[in-house]
Amino acid sequence: MKINSLQLTNFRNYKKCQVQLSSGINVLLGENAQGKTNLLESLSFVSSLRSFRINNESQLIYFDKEASKIKCELEKTTGLKSLSVVISKEGKSLMINDTLIKKSSNFIGELNTVLFEPSDLGFFEDAPRVRRRFMDMELTKLSSSYLSHVNSYSRVLKQRNALLKQLEFDSDTLDILDQQLINHHIVIVKNRRQFIDFLNTQCNNYFNQLSKAKANLKLIYKTDVFHENDNEFKKHCLEKLKMNRQRDLYFKLTHFGAHRDDIVSLFNDIQLSQVASQGQKRLVILSMKLALIDYIHDKLNEQPVLLLDDVFSELDKDHQKKFIQLCPKDIQTIITTTDLISLEYINKVITIFDIKEVEITLRRKSIE
């Protein structure tokens, strides 16, 4: 898929902005605090309906304005689509073409972006919830049914925890909630596992192409109980909940479930966060993004849009070059940078935009 144009109104520091993007590589070039990341944030927001920087959406609205709007024209294998999101203090409203979309699950993933941003570098050190959010976000963009399982799981988990807090608890109700929780749990775990298994193989391949020093990289979905057979899987999970029940009642919390799972990452069989250098961690993350692009392409039969925020700082020229070479040829890419020198070697179609005080000007379009 390809974004043809983007229009922002009162989004972050943009009062009004319109930009026509090209296929190939689009470079957003500008000094600090000019609005480069803001622009990527707007596209990533259309994709996932979440900001990768903040939870409070009102910060996305230009200071002292009532609402902001992001509109983009998208070219997909199924045809042209216009997507728009209006963010106001009361919430969001969504449109595809001229139709109002009530359920966000019918909007999320229409534009599918793969984003690299500097805080991704903490991925392996961050709390497990960050890695669970990554899996859920990516899977949600590809399947509205996955999203509905995640939402139902959270609802049942809340009910279960509330019940555990009651002084006189009803064990029949708890049994029913356990059944419901596990029904969603097994779908979530199977999807996440299949996703991580795919990333694992591809990520290892990409890493060993990107990095001079070879390593054996492993990503493993970590969960307490698993079985290939659904009935057995369900049975073992229910047993686990039963086994934990006294502890759950004591702490008034559910100790087992998809909300406790994680991704384990091993670098030559040792926990990655403990042995990999900063540069290696960056290469692992980039390899993961390349693997993610493959996964999305596999599911959608078209490329997502690649958003790269400040990706090249701290990477030497060789690695920069290799990374660009490993990106699929036909993927639309939007890169922010403060410094054009680092992009000299790119021998793909590139379009450069200067961003200065929220004015975006097309500088040059160079064809390979």
Binding interface with ligand ATP (CB under 6 A): 12-13, 30, 32-38, 59, 61-63, 336, 338
Three-class SS of residue 71? strand
What DSSP character marks residue 155?
H
Nearer to ligand ATP, 8 or 94 (CB): 8
Per CB under 5 A, the list member of 9, 37, 84, 287 interacting with Mg ion is 37
120: enclosing H helix or E strand: none
Give 148's Cβ-side CA count (13 Å radius): 6
Residue 35's binding partner among ligand ATP, Mg ion, none (Cβ under 5 to 8 angstroms by kind) is ligand ATP
CB of 323 to ligand ATP, least distance (A): 19
The site partner of 30 among ligand ATP, Mg ion, none (C-beta below 5 to 8 Å per kind) is ligand ATP
The CA-based diameter of the chain, rounded to the nearest angstrom, is 72
Only one of the segments 32-40, 86-94, 322-330, 339-347 lies at the binding site for Mg ion (rule: CB under 5 A); that segment is 32-40
Shortest distance (Å) from residue 112 CB to ligand ATP: 22
CA distance to 114, 184, 196, 247, 253, per residue, from 237 (Å): 33, 11, 20, 16, 16
Nearer to Mg ion, 20 or 338 (CB): 338
Task: Give the up-direction half-sphere exposure of residue 225: CA atoms within 13 A in the CB hemisphere.
Answer: 21
Q: Per-residue DSSP letters for 318-332? A: HHHHHHHHHS-TT--
End-to-end CA distance of the chain: 21
Q: How far apart are CA 52 and CA 48, in angstroms?
A: 9
Least distance (Å) from ligand ATP to the CB of residue 111?
Answer: 19
Q: Which CB atom, from 24 or from 35, has the smaller least distance to Mg ion?
A: 35
- Residue 47 interacting entry, from Mg ion, ligand ATP, none, C-beta within 5 to 8 Å by type: none
Closest CB 287 distance from Mg ion, rounded Å: 23
> Cα–Cα distance between 168 and 150 in angstroms, integer?
29
Nearer to ligand ATP, 37 or 202 (CB): 37
Please identify, among the stretches 29-37, 187-195, 212-220, 341-349, the one whose residues bind Mg ion according to the rule CB under 5 A. 29-37
Residue 285, SS3 per DSSP: helix
Residues that bind Mg ion (CB under 5 A): 37
